[in-house]
A and B are shown apart, each in its own frame.
Chain A
Amino acid sequence: MITLENVYYKYEPEGIDALRGVSLQIREGEHLALIGPNGCGKTTLIRHLNSLLLPASGKVTIGGFDTKDAGHQADIRSLVGMVFQNPDNQIVGMTVEEDVAFGPENLRLPTVEIKKRVAGALARVGISGLACRNIENLSGGEKRLVAIAGVLAMQPRYIALDEPTAFLDPAAAKRVLDIVDKLHSEGVGIIHITHNMAEASLTQRIVVMNEGRIYLDGTPQEIFGKIGLLQKIGMQLPQITELLIKLEESGFPARTDIVNMEDALEEILFLIRKNKD
Chain B
Amino acid sequence: MYHTGSFINGPSLIYNLDPRIKLAVTICLSIFILWLKPLIVVIVGIALFCAALANGITLRTIGQAIKPLLFFIVLIFLVHLLFNEGEALFNIPYIGISISYTGLQHGFFVVWRFLCLIMAAILLTLTTTPSQMIAAIKYFLRPLKLLRVPIDDIAVMIMLALRLMPILLTEKERVEIAQKARGYNLRQSGYIIRIKAFFSLILTVLTGIFRRANELALAMEARNYQRGERTSLVELKLKSSDYVFITFLSFFFVIFVALNSHFG
Q: Is the CB of B229 within 8 A of A108?
A: yes
The answer to whether residues A106 and B9 also contact, given A89-B215, A93-B159, A98-B233 and a CB cut-off of 8 A, is no
Chain A, 129-161, CB within 8 A of any chain B CB: 132-136, 150-151, 154
A78 part of interface (Cβ distance < 8 Å): yes
For A107, the chain B residues whose CB sits under 8 A away are: 224
For B219, the chain A residues whose CB sits under 8 A away are: 82, 84, 89-90, 92
For A47, the chain B residues whose CB sits under 8 A away are: 218
Contact of B216 among A81, A89, A101 (CB under 8 A): A89
The answer to whether residues A92 and B159 also contact, given A97-B233, A106-B225, A118-B233 and a CB cut-off of 8 A, is yes
Which residue of chain B has the shortest Cβ distance to A131 in the bound complex?
Answer: B9
Cα(A104)–Cα(B215), bound, Å: 20
Q: Is the CB of A106 within 8 A of B224?
A: yes
Which residue of chain B has the shortest Cβ distance to A108 in the bound complex?
Answer: B231
Which residue of chain B has the shortest Cβ distance to A77 in the bound complex?
Answer: B224
The distance from the CB of B82 to the nearest CB of chain A, in whole angstroms, is: 41
For A115, the chain B residues whose CB sits under 8 A away are: 233
For B9, the chain A residues whose CB sits under 8 A away are: 132-134
User: What 11 new A-B contacts, CB under 8 Å, besides A47-B218, A107-B224, A154-B224?
Assistant: A81-B222, A84-B215, A88-B212, A95-B129, A95-B131, A105-B230, A106-B224, A114-B233, A118-B233, A132-B129, A134-B9
A227 part of interface (Cβ distance < 8 Å): no
Q: Is the CB of A150 within 8 A of B223?
A: yes
For B231, the chain A residues whose CB sits under 8 A away are: 104-105, 108-111, 114
B232 part of interface (Cβ distance < 8 Å): yes
Q: Is the CB of A103 within 8 A of B5?
A: no
Which residue of chain B has the shortest Cβ distance to A100 in the bound complex?
Answer: B233
Cα(A77)–Cα(B221), bound, Å: 9
Q: Is the CB of A98 within 8 A of B129?
A: yes
A94 part of interface (Cβ distance < 8 Å): yes
For B229, the chain A residues whose CB sits under 8 A away are: 108
Sample (22) of A-B pairs whose CB atoms are under 8 Å apart: A52-B221, A77-B224, A82-B222, A84-B215, A84-B219, A89-B215, A90-B215, A94-B129, A94-B163, A95-B129, A95-B130, A98-B130, A103-B223, A105-B230, A105-B232, A105-B233, A107-B224, A108-B231, A114-B232, A114-B233, A151-B223, A154-B223
Which residue of chain A has the shortest Cβ distance to B213 in the bound complex?
Answer: A89
Which residue of chain A has the shortest Cβ distance to B152 in the bound complex?
Answer: A105
B226 part of interface (Cβ distance < 8 Å): yes
Query: Which 3 A-B pairs rank lowest in CB-CB distance, beginning with the nearest?
Result: A89-B215, A101-B233, A90-B219
A128 part of interface (Cβ distance < 8 Å): no
Cα(A253)–Cα(B212), bound, Å: 52
B111 part of interface (Cβ distance < 8 Å): no
A50 part of interface (Cβ distance < 8 Å): yes
B179 part of interface (Cβ distance < 8 Å): no
The answer to whether residues A111 and B159 also contact, given A94-B5, A132-B9 and a CB cut-off of 8 A, is no
For B6, the chain A residues whose CB sits under 8 A away are: 134, 136
Contact of B7 among A88, A108, A134 (CB under 8 A): A134
For A150, the chain B residues whose CB sits under 8 A away are: 223
- B145-175: contact bitstring with A at CB < 8 Å (1 yes, 0 no)? 0000000000000011011001100000000
Interface centre among A84, A91, A95, A135 (most CB of B within 10 A): A95
The distance from the CB of B122 to the nearest CB of chain A, in whole angstroms, is: 16
For B246, the chain A residues whose CB sits under 8 A away are: none
Contact of B131 among A73, A98, A104, A136 (CB under 8 A): A98
Q: Is the CB of B215 within 8 A of A103?
A: no
Cα(A253)–Cα(B230), bound, Å: 64
For B230, the chain A residues whose CB sits under 8 A away are: 105-106, 108
Cα(A107)–Cα(B131), bound, Å: 17
B50 part of interface (Cβ distance < 8 Å): no
The answer to whether residues A90 and B233 also contact, given A78-B224, A136-B166 and a CB cut-off of 8 A, is no
For A111, the chain B residues whose CB sits under 8 A away are: 231-235
A86 part of interface (Cβ distance < 8 Å): yes
Q: Is the CB of A92 within 8 A of B216?
A: yes
Interface centre among B7, B130, B219, B226 (most CB of A within 10 A): B219
Which residue of chain A has the shortest Cβ distance to B234 in the bound complex?
Answer: A111
